[in-house]
Amino acid sequence: MKKTSIVGKNVRKLDSVEKAMGAATFTTDISLPHMLYGKVLRSPYPHAKIINIDTSEAEKHPGVEAVVCYKNTPRVKFNTSATSTFTIPPLQPVEDQYVFDSVVRYVGDEVAAVAAESMEIAEQAIKLIKVEYEELPAVFDPLEAMKTEAPLLHGQCKEGRNIPGEKIHMEMGDVEKGFEEADEVFEHTFKLPVQKQAQMETQAAVAKVGVDGRVTIWSTTQTPHPSQRILATIFGLPYSKVRVLNPPYIGGGFGVRIGLSAKAEPIAMALAMQAKKPVKVVYDRKEDFIASDTRHSGYVTVKTGVKKDGTFTARKMRGLLNAGAYCSWSAETPGVLGAMGLSVYRCANQMYDGHSVYTNTTPGGAMRGFGNPQAMFAIESQVDIIAEKLGLDPLDIRMKNMMKPGDQWVLPYKCQSSGLEECIKKGAAAINWDCRGKVEKGSTKKRGIGVGIGSHVSNAWPFCGDYSNAYITIHQDGSVLLATGVPDMGTGTITTLAQMAAETLGISFDKVSVTFADTESTPFDIGSHASRTCYASGIAVVAAANDAKKQILQYAAKKMEVEEEELQIENNNVLAINNPEKQLPLNKVAVDAHLEGQQFIGVGKIVPENAPPWLAHFAEVEVDTETGKVKVVKLVAAHDVGKAIHPQIVEGQLHGGLAQGIGYALSEEIKYNDKGQQLNDGFHKYMLPTAVDIPELEAIIVEAAEPSHPFGVKGVGETGLVATAPAIANAIFNAIGIRFFEIPITEEKVYKALLNKENE
C-alpha cells in the first residue's frame, strides 16, 4: 500500500475540543422559542387492552397544549428499527407497532403523551389521564411463548406461535455425515441475559413543525436517513418535507437507536403537530431502561463433532432469542448470531436454525455485536470444553480449526484476509499464556487465564441492504466540505472520514470540514451501525474524493499543459509527478475554475462488499473462593482491523467494548418479576462497570489489509466485546474448574457453584 501521511495518524479529533469545553450540542441541550415539553404515560401492565381512555382532565389542565393517544394519532404500522426500510425481498419487514395502540404489550409500553409549557406540568397532566385496562394473560419466557396455550401478542404468525418474521436456516455440507465421522460429539445449551446499552444520553427528540408543514426533527438516532423514511411514512408526508438530523452529537448509541430513538421522534412529532409548537421529548433514565430496546436474551445450543486430534467434523447450532413485545431487530439478530457463530471455524458440515419469540417484555433489539456475543459465548465456551476433554491446548485447537482466507463458509462474500493467527500469537504473549496453570496453588484466591476468538462484519449486508453516498465540494480557496449521512456517536466517524478524504485529495487535514447526520445536507446513508462507517461510508468518501480529484486534475492539466495522468495533488498543490517544479496551488486552481464557472464537486456512490475483522481476547482472572467474587486482572484484545486510520480511536473502541464485555460476563442483567416488571431499571440497580472495576487493558492492533477497502479497513466498532465474556468464563474455569453455562457469572452464582462442588 502507498505510504500515507494523514491516514494512520492520531490527528486531533474534530469533535473533541467542543466536547471538552461543554460546548458540543446534544439533542437534550436544544431549546427553541415556545418549545413545549412532552411526557409519556406508560403501561403498568405487561399485557392489557385499553377499554377506555379519558384525556379530558389532562387537556383542561393549565399549561397543557396537546394530548395524544391511539385515538388521535396515525393508525399506520411501523417498526422502530431501520431494518423496516431495508429488508431485502422476498423477505418482508415486520411492522407491528403504532405510535400508540389500544393494546399494551409490556410494562412501559406507550399509552398516551402530553405536551405542556413545563416538564412539571406535563408530569402532573399525565396523572390526570384516566385509563381503564382489561388485563390479558402475559408470557415472559420465549420457550413458554411458543406453547399452544400461550397468549398471542400479534395474532397468528406464519412461522409459528409468536414468531416474528422468518425462521433462519443455514446449511452447508452434510451435518449428519459429519457427526458420523466424529470420534466425539459434544452438545451444550447456554443461557444469555438481557443486557442494556445504557448509553449516557437517553432517547430524545425535538420536533418542530413549520407553518408550511415541513417538519424538522433533531434526535439521538444513529440513522437519520432511514428514520426520515419511517417518520414520513407514519405521518403520510413526502420524505422531502421531513428533515431528521443530529444536532450534531449523540451521547452514545451502541445500537439502541438504529432507526428511531425508541418512540421519542414520533411522539414528539405527534405532539408538535397538534400543539403547533416545537416539542421536546427526553426519556428519563428509567424510561430508557424499560422502554427502549435491549440486547436479546435467549438460548444458544451448540453440537459439535470432533476427531481425536481436535478437527471439527460437524457443527449444528440453534438460537432462540427473546424478541420482547415488538419485533424491532428480532428477525435479523438470529441470522447474525448463526452466521457469525458458523464463520469462525472451518468445518465442512454446518447447520444453523434460529428465530425469536415474542413475549411481554421490553423489545430486544440491536446492541453492539448484534447476536454475535451470544453466539460466541456458546461456541467459545464449548471449544474449551472440547479441548479439556481431548487434552488439547485451547490455543492449539483454535489454531487448528480457525477459518482462513479461501476456506468455504456460509456467508455470501469472501474472506479475503485474516490476521487471526497473528492476533492469537500476540495476545497469548501479552497475557503470558505460557504461565497458564502454573500459578501457585493453595491460596483462597485462584488465578486463571482464558481465551476467546471471533470475527464480525464491516457492514450490514447481507443481513439487510447496505449502501453509502458522499459528496466532496472544493471551495474556491481549496478547502473542502465533506457531506456524509452518517452520525458520529463518539466513534470518531467524522475524524476518520475526514482523514480519508484529505489523504485521497492530497490536502492537509485542517482544510476539511464535515457536514454529517442530516437528511437535508447529506445524501442517503444507512447510518452508524454494523461496524460500517469507516468501511462502507469510508469507501463512499474515497470515491467522492477521487471523483473531485479527477475533475481538479482534468482542469489543471489544461492550465498546466500537462497530461492529466502525469498530475498529482500533494500538500495542497497540483504538481507534475515527473517534474515537481511544475505546480499550481490548489486554491489557485479552484478559484480559476470558479472564475470560469466551474466548481469541483465529487460524488461517491457505493455498494460495499463485506469483510470479516478478526479478534482474539485473553483474560486473566482471580476468583476469591471464599466469596465467589471474580476479579478480572487483565484483558488483552488483539484485533485485526485491516488498517487503523486513527489508532487512538481504534484503541478507544476496543477499550470501550472490553468494558461492556466485562459487564456482560460478570454483572449486567435486567431481570423481571412475575408481574413483568423490570427489576433493574436504573444505574444503581444495573451493575455497569465503573473505573474501579476495570482491570489492566491492552489493545493490540493487527493490520492484515483488506483488499475490498481502498485503505484496507475492516470494521472495529462492535468487535471489542464479541469474545470477552467467553474469555473470562474460560479463565474462571481455568482458575476453579467450574464451567458456567449462563452469564452474567455473578459473585452469588460462583459462590453457590463452589459450595456445590465442595459438597459433591
Partner 1 sequence: MAKTVLKMILNGKPVERLVSFDDTLLDALREDLGLTGTKKGCGKGECGACTIIMNGKAVNSCIVPALQAMDAAVETIEGIGTVEKLHPLQETFVDYGAIQCGFCTPGMIMSAKALLDKNVVPSREEIKEAIAGNVCRCTGYLKIEEAIMAAAEMMQSQQGK
Q: In the set 142, 652, 715, 744, which binds partner 1 (CB under 8 A)?
A: 652
Buried b (16+ CB within 10 A) or exposed e, 156-175: ebeeebbbbbbebebeebeb
Measured from the CB atom, the residue of 28 and 546 that comes closer to partner 1 is 28
Q: What is the Cα–Cα distance from 248 to 244, expressed in whole angstroms?
A: 11
Task: Kindly identify the residues of this chain, within the stretch 475-494, that bind ligand FES according to CB under 6 A.
Answer: 490
Least separation in angstroms between residue 404's CB and partner 1 is 31
588 vs 556: CA distance, rounded Å: 10
Which residue, 676 or 689, is less far from ligand FES as judged by CB?
689
Name the residue with the smallest CB distance to ligand FES. Answer: 200
User: Residue 433 is placed in which grid cell?
Assistant: 499464556
> Which of 252, 487 has the CB closer to ligand FES?
252
The site that binds partner 1 (CB under 8 A) totals a number of residues, namely 57
Least distance to partner 1, CB of residue 141, Å = 28
In the complex with partner 1, the residue whose CB is nearer, 198 or 574, is: 198
Strand 36-42 relative to strand 279-282, pairing? parallel
> Are 140 and 125 contacting, i.e. CB atoms less than 8 angstroms apart?
no
d(CA 552, CA 544): 12
- The cell numbers describing 81, all together, are 428499527
Q: How many CB atoms lie within 10 A of CB 204?
A: 28
* Per-state percent for the chain, helix, strand, coil, to nearest 5: 30, 25, 45
List the end-to-end C-alpha distance of the chain, in Å, as a whole number.
60
- DSSP state at residue 99: S
d(CA 504, CA 263): 40
The 573-576 sheet, strands edge to edge: 567-570, 573-576, 579-585
In whole angstroms, how close is the CB of 89 to partner 1 at the nearest point? 36
Task: Please give the grid coordinates belonging to residue 540.
Answer: 463512499
Q: For residues 7 and 643, is the Cβ–Cβ distance under 8 A? A: yes
Our CB check for ligand FES shows the closer of 14 and 544 to be 14
By CB under 6 A, is residue 38 in contact with ligand FES?
A: no
Sign of CA dihedral 326, 331, 337, 340: negative
Closest approach of Cβ 201 to ligand FES, in Å?
A: 8
Cell of 57: 382532565
What does the alpha-carbon distance between residue 601 and residue 585 come to, in Å, rounded to a whole number?
Answer: 18
Q: Does 663 bind ligand FES (CB under 6 A)?
A: no
Site track 234-273 with partner 1 (rule: CB under 8 A), x = hit = ---------------xxxxxx-------------------
Question: Binding pattern to ligand FES, positions 515-544, x when CB under 6 A?
Answer: ------------------------------
Q: Does 720 bind ligand FES (CB under 6 A)?
A: no
Write the DSSP symbol of residue 718: T
Minimum distance of ligand FES from residue 13's CB (angstroms): 12
Which range, of 240-248, 309-317, 655-663, 745-753, touches partner 1 by CB under 8 A? 655-663
Give, in order, the Cα–Cα distances in Å from 491 to each of 434, 474, 655: 35, 26, 12
Q: Which is nearer to ligand FES, 336 or 659 (CB)?
A: 659
Distance between CA atoms of 32 and 439, rounded to whole angstroms? 62
Judged by CB under 6 A, the residue of 1, 51, 88, 200 near ligand FES is: 200
CA 588 to the chain's CA centroid: 44
Indicate which of ligand FES, partner 1, none lies near residue 26 (CB less than 5 to 8 Å, by partner kind). Answer: partner 1
Q: In the range 161-190, which residues lie near partner 1 by CB under 8 A?
A: none
Determine the Cα–Cα distance for residues 488 and 18; give it in Å rounded to an integer: 14
User: Which of 101, 380, 525, 651 is the binder for partner 1 (CB under 8 A)?
Assistant: 651
Q: Give the Cα separation of 196 and 206 in Å (integer).
A: 24
Residue 99 interface partner, choices ligand FES, partner 1, none, CB cut-off 5-8 Å depending on type: none
Q: Would you say 492 or 604 has its CB closer to partner 1? A: 492
Per-residue CA distances from 597 to 132, 214, 376, 478 (Å): 68, 33, 57, 15
Select from 81, 202, 292, 417 the one that contacts partner 1 (CB under 8 A).
202
Show the site string, 245-274: x = touches ligand FES by CB under 6 A, - = not.
-------x----------------------
Quickly list DSSP for 199-213: -SSPPEEEEEE-TTS
Q: Which is nearer to ligand FES, 39 or 61 (CB)?
A: 39
Is residue 98 a contact partner of residue 75, using CB atoms and an 8 Å limit? yes
DSSP-derived secondary structure letter, 83:
G
Helices assigned H by DSSP within 84-118: none
- Shortest spacing between CB 591 and ligand FES, in angstroms: 41
Q: Which does 648 bind (CB under 5 to 8 A by kind): ligand FES, partner 1, none?
A: partner 1
Residues 6+ apart with CB under 8 A from 186: 302, 303, 304, 306, 382, 385, 386, 389
Task: State the minimum distance, in angstroms, from the CB of residue 289 to partner 1.
Answer: 10
Nearer residue to ligand FES within complex by CB, 48 or 658: 658
Give which of partner 1, ligand FES, none residue 688 binds (C-beta under 5 to 8 Å, depending on kind).
partner 1
* Nearest distance, CB of residue 197 and ligand FES, angstroms: 11
Q: Is 358 helix (H, G, I), strand (E, B) or coil?
A: strand
Cell readout for 112 is 398516551
Could you tell me the three cell numbers for 443? 491460596
Region 482-521 residues binding partner 1, contact defined as CB under 8 A: 489-492
Residue with Cβ nearer partner 1 (118 or 240)? 118
What's the closest the beta carbon of residue 653 comes to partner 1, in angstroms?
A: 8
Q: Closest distance between ligand FES and the C-beta of residue 257, in Å?
A: 14
Task: Pick between residue 50 and residue 204 the one whose CB is nearest to ligand FES.
Answer: 204
Judged by CB under 8 A, the residue of 148, 444, 690, 759 near partner 1 is 690
Half-sphere exposure of 604 (CA within 13 A, CB side): 32
Q: How many residues bind ligand FES (CB under 6 A)?
A: 3
Ranges assigned E (strand) in 97-250: 103-104, 110-116, 130-135, 168-172, 184-192, 204-209, 215-219, 242-245
Q: How far is the CB of 257 from partner 1 (least distance, A)?
A: 12
Smallest gap from Cβ 598 to ligand FES, in A, equals: 43
Cβ partners under 8 Å of residue 693, min gap 6: 632, 662, 667
Closer to partner 1 by Cβ: residue 15 or 718 = 15
Residue 683 identity: F
* Among the listed residues 29, 477, 520, 566, the single contact to partner 1 using CB under 8 A: 29
Considering only residues 105 to 134 of the shown chain, the ones binding partner 1 according to CB under 8 A are: 120
| Residue 225 vs 257, nearer CB to ligand FES | 257
Spatial CA neighbour of 718 closest among 289, 230, 336: 336
Q: How far is the CB of 218 from ligand FES (least distance, A)?
A: 19
Give yes or no for residue 201 binding partner 1 (CB under 8 A): yes
Minimum distance, C-beta of residue 200 to ligand FES, in the bound complex (Å)? 4
Distance between CA atoms of residues 131 and 703, nearest Å: 59
The binder of partner 1 chosen from 12, 276, 404, 438 (CB under 8 A): 12
Q: Are 662 and 632 contacting, i.e. CB atoms less than 8 angstroms apart?
A: yes
* Residue span 274-303 as binding mask against partner 1, x where in contact by CB under 8 A, dash where not: ----------xx------------------
Contacting positions for partner 1 (CB under 8 A): 10, 12-13, 15-26, 28-29, 31, 120, 197-202, 249-254, 284-285, 489-492, 648-649, 651-652, 654-660, 682-684, 688, 690-692, 694, 697
Chain residues in the site for ligand FES (CB under 6 A)? 200, 252, 490
